[in-house]
Amino acid sequence: MSTGEMMRHRFSVEQYHRMIDAGIFAPEDRLELIHGELVTMSPINRRHAACCGRISYLLERLGRRAMKRIQDPITLADSEPQPDVAIVRWRDDFYLAGHPTPPDIYWVIEVADTTVTYDRDVKVPLYIQAGIPEVWLVNLDADCLEVYRQEEQKILRRGQTITPLHFPELAFSVDELLG
């Protein structure tokens, strides 16, 4: 290794789980496994928390057709991110047997203010490449909703509405998502 190079160690999802089970990380550490690397998550400010709460409330419309998971892990090939919201298939065990994987996930929502660039450049491609059909990025700073689907990207502004791919009977206005 030459001077100035940093050595990195990558972890598998299984190694990450063993470290969690062994108590190596404290709950306040707020970590995600992204492409095999441990990443510290940003603290959640009031604006971000309020938006997540509002989205959680709006998703009550799903009833038992799907589950909403708020800032809980999902398992991808070499990553275990904790999206702000994941809308997943209903399971009576509430995923006790294992976190949702791409076949379980209808769509994910990331809320971003201080992390917009990271969410757009790292997390959105991670989700799309894993086969998650739909990702919403609620961009609080730009006051818009960025929508990413397998073959489509679009930006929606206040006054516009969106229907999720898997639940076309539900319509959400950008205004109600942004608050």
Q: In angstroms, rounded to a whole number, what is the distance separating the alpha carbons of residues 116 and 83?
A: 13
pLDDT at 27: 77
Residues 6+ apart with CB under 8 A from 172: 58, 161, 162, 163, 164
> 23 falls in which pLDDT band (50, 70, 90)?
very high
Question: Which H or E element spans position 40?
Answer: strand 37-40
Residue-wise pLDDT for 145-157, tens only, equals: 999 998 899 999 9
Residue 68's DSSP bridge partners are 87
What pTM value is reported for the model?
0.92
Question: What mean pLDDT is predicted for residues 115-135?
Answer: 97
Residue-wise pLDDT for 42-101, tens only, equals: 889 999 999 999 999 999 999 999 999 999 999 999 999 999 999 999 999 999 999 999
Phi, psi of 121 (to 5 degrees): -90, -25
Pick the CATH number of 44-178 from 3.20.20.80, 3.90.1570.10, 3.90.245.10, 3.40.50.720: 3.90.1570.10
Angle (CA) 70 100 48, round 5° = 20
Residue 111's DSSP bridge partners are 138
| Look-up of token digits 């997390």 | 123
pLDDT over 60 at 35, yes or no: yes
